[in-house]
Amino acid sequence: MPDITTKITGLTLRNPVVLASGTVGYGPEYAELIDYETVGAIVTKTITREPREGNPPPRLAETHAGLLNAIGLENVGLRRFLSEKLPEAAELPTEIIASVAGGTPAEFCELAGAVGERDAVRAVEINISCPNVRRERRPVWDDPEGTAAVVTAARSATKKPLIVKLSPNTADILSVAEAAVGAGADALVVANTMPGMRIDLEKRLPALGNVTGGLSGHALMPINLALVWKVSAAVDVPVIGSGGIATAEDALEFLMAGATAVQVGTALFLDPGAPAAIVWGIREHMRMNGAETIDEYIGLAREEKQRCTEKIAAD
């Protein structure tokens, strides 16, 4: 039996499939549809210090091979998360990663500290990349200094593994990734959604109340896969791949590109059984190919490419 246990700096998961923030709510919403024993971990809906009502509807628009969403970080706020949502999530038979977002480094510090001190929270995910919240200045996800400031603040507040979720919407993801790692990130999620929009021809209006939203689903996969390839070569912390993963083959592409684990989100909407099927498919692939551990896949495509290049040079 192949071993699919996955280690992400201080956090051991029974398998590399993690459910992405925002898609499973706080967890219990999907308890009847997802067998949580089959997933490595879930990332709860991003919480902010105060409750947020989110963006005006419509909040969703389907695209060719994808989905635009502009939820706007609707959430119950820190206090209700700790008193109501987290205790419920803690009952689920999987690991809980709590996602937080703040407006300032001080808020990130407070949020990371408050969720990080709970036993049920196995790691803290720092969401610096939600595209649906208006910002006046340069967004943090596109700003290495801003990223360093919020990660430093969060790092000072918790000893739990700190995972930073990057945005694909930057010309220089390496500088942002290095800034996050330099400030103490234990792992990176590469990456969040990409901004996009659609027009409702009947209403002659933008399809989303927020005008633009984040593109997820299969259309996003090649973009984020390329970013995983790039970032995983440059940093020495685990990279968690995310973006349009719906099948075991998709997940294996991310692992071979350099990801240590993957996040699955939008695929749940069509098939809540997708995470379990991905785990099964990875295990089957390992069995068929005689792989004993997940580590054998991580960055395999880069190693192969290197071998090919060396062979050509030698010839």
Partner 1 sequence: MPGQFVHVAASEELTLRRPFSVAGVPRERSLDLLVELRGKGTRTLAEQAEGSSVSVMGPLGNWFSPPREGATAILVAGGIGVAGLRYLAEEFVHDGRPVLLLVGARTREGLLDGLMPRPNGGITLELSTDDGSTGTAGTVCELLASHLERVENPARVYACGPPAMLKEAAAVALRHGLPCEVLLEEIMACGTGACRGCVVNTKHGYKTVCSDGPVFDAAELLFEGGPYA
Interaction site with partner 1 (CB under 8 A): 22-25, 29-30, 32-33, 45, 53-54, 56-63, 65-67, 69, 71, 74, 217-218, 266, 268-272
CB of 271 or CB of 304, closer to partner 1: 271
Nearer to partner 1, 57 or 222 (CB): 57
Q: From its phi and psi, is residue 125 left (phi > 0), alpha (psi between -120 and 50) or beta?
A: beta
Q: Which residue's CB is nearer to partner 1, number 33 or number 106?
A: 33
Catalytic option among 43, 71, 130, 179: 130
**Using the 8-state DSSP alphabet, how is residue 81 labeled?**
I
Which one, of 255, 245, 251, lies nearest residue 300 by Cα?
255
H-only helix segments in 27-98: 77-80, 86-90
Minimum CB distance to partner 1, residue 200 (Å):
10
CB of 295 to partner 1, least distance (A): 32
- Looking at beta carbons only, is 74 or 296 nearer to partner 1? 74
Q: Which is nearer to partner 1, 136 or 202 (CB)?
A: 202
Q: How far is the CB of 246 from partner 1 (least distance, A)?
A: 9
What Å distances lie between residue 249 and 129, 169, 280, CA to CA? 26, 25, 11
Burial class (CB in 10 A: 0-12, 13-18, 19+), 119: exposed
CB 220 within 8 A of CB 173: no
Helix 248-257 crosses helix 274-289 at what angle (to 10 degrees)? 60
**Residue 241 near residue 18 (C-beta atoms within 8 A):** no
User: Residue 250 CB, nearest distance to partner 1 (Å)?
Assistant: 14
Q: Note if 308 is an active site residue.
A: no
Sheet with 194-196, strands from edge to edge, namely: 60-63, 66-69, 213-216, 194-196
- Token pair, residue 126, equals 């720092």
Question: Residue 17 CB, nearest distance to partner 1 (Å)?
Answer: 17
Give catalytic residues, as residue numbers. 130
